[in-house]
Structure formats: structure tokens, C-alpha cells
Amino acid sequence: MQKQYRLQKNKAFQYVYHRGRSASCRDLVLLVAKGRGLQVGFSVSKKVGNAVTRNLVKRRLRECFRPHLGDVKNGLYVFVARPSAANATFSSLRQQVDSLLKKQSCFREADPAAAKTGKGVAQ
């Protein structure tokens, strides 16, 4: 995922934790807050495992979210991994990311003009 889409500053994470709305599933929690642009952060604590395991989970989550970059609304997104995420497969993480995004209604609405012409989703 490109650097412009990454949420990196602690202050930004704290903003999302305090102001964002959350949804959860078995291995993940998604927090969403309003923002001007699209930025995504991934939080994986030491409870998940050692550094190798935590980095593996973060890489998987980044790759699960990457196909949705053009489809989601602008805002600040933080995915928090639970300890069970270390044992989850890539496909189950992908399904959970998709379901959390749908649960929070993060996907952009289809443009009515584009639907008539068959052009696809508005960007």
C-alpha cells in the first residue's frame, strides 16, 4: 500500500480511537472516523505474538485492504488485530476485512449516472 494512504502518527491513531465508531468480528476490530483523505492504520499489539508474527499479520491486513482503496469512502480507518489473528488464514482475514467494511458502510455508493451508462462505481 502506498505511503500516502498510511496512518502513521500516534496523534492520528488517538483521534480515531476517541472519535471513531467501531465494529468487531472474531479476529479484528475496525475503527472509522471522519477525515479529509483516505488513511489506514494497522494496530497489532504484543499480545498477538513476537515481532515476526506481528509483522506477518500487518502485511496480511495491508494486502487484504489494498484492493478496496478505490472503493471506500474518505476517512481514517484503524484495524486492530486480536491475538487470534496470529492463527487466522489469509482468506479468513480477507473475509473479515470485507465484512467489517460492509458493517460500517464504508463503501462508496454507486453513481446513478454511471449505473445508467454502465460505467461502474464512481470514484
CATH number of domain containing 43: 3.30.230.10
DSSP β-bridge partners for residue 100: none
pTM for the structure as a whole: 0.85
- Asked if residue 101 is part of any domain, the answer here is yes
Cα separation, 84 vs 82, in Å, equals 5
Total count of domains within the chain: 1
Asked if residue 106 lies in contact with residue 75, where contact means CB atoms within 8 angstroms, the answer is: yes
- Asked if residue 55 is part of any domain, the answer here is yes
- Asked if residue 118 is part of any domain, the answer here is no
Asked if residue 98 lies in contact with residue 65, where contact means CB atoms within 8 angstroms, the answer is: no
- Asked if residue 119 is part of any domain, the answer here is no
Q: Which domain holds residue 20?
A: 3-108
* 52-99 pLDDT, tens digit each: 999 999 999 999 999 999 899 999 999 999 999 999 999 999 999 999
- Asked if residue 51 is part of any domain, the answer here is yes
The residue-averaged pLDDT of 11-25 equals: 95
- Asked if residue 122 is part of any domain, the answer here is no
